[in-house]
Amino acid sequence: MRVLAISGSLRQGSSNTAALEALARLAPDGMRVLVYHDIARLPPYNPDDDVEDQPKPELVVTFRAIVGACDAIVIATPEYAHGVPGMFKNALDWLVASETFAGKRVVLINTSPRAFHAQANLREILATMAARLLADAFITLPLTSKTITCEEIVADPTCSRRLGHVLDALREAVQES
């Protein structure tokens, strides 16, 4: 089982990226969580560059292929000005017209309990993109420090239990279908 994890933060010490790396660390045998690190390298989305039967930028082709090959996607993103960060939205825009995204199972991890606007916004975006939102698997992690590491998240009982819930729910959802 393959899970693609996408962080909305470009920050080197990102707590959202650390949470996804912790998810990967806790994944059981038979499940691989790949953390995608290239959203900053994707070109700005332009419909002129996304025309059927015309070559697409190489990174976009790879990104779409990775999305197509995974059984589910897990997203953790910061909230910027009550929305999602621009580069992350740009990555989603590259998936809108892609045949590989519609129907994909998606789980959201919110790393900041006070940031609810971006989560609501993201749910609306993903529903519009015909994602299959596994809402029962969504979690919030109480990460108050901006400098938390993957190891610290794994070692935290509350965080590791909630991440374990995500992994269990993903396995069940994929096995059911």
Provide the binding-site residues for ligand FMN, judged by CB under 6 A: 9, 11, 14-16, 78-82, 112, 114-115, 146
Least distance CB 54 / ligand FMN (angstroms): 35
Nearer to ligand FMN, 79 or 98 (CB): 79
Nearer to ligand FMN, 28 or 142 (CB): 142
Least distance CB 136 / ligand FMN (angstroms): 24
Q: Which residues of 7-43 are buried (b: 16+ CB within 10 A; e: fewer)?
A: bbbeeeebbbbbbbbbbbebbeeebebebbeebeebe
Nearer to ligand FMN, 115 or 174 (CB): 115
d(CA 131, CA 125): 9
How would you classify the pairing of strands 32-36 and 139-140? unpaired
Least distance CB 107 / ligand FMN (angstroms): 17
How would you classify the pairing of strands 72-76 and 32-36? unpaired
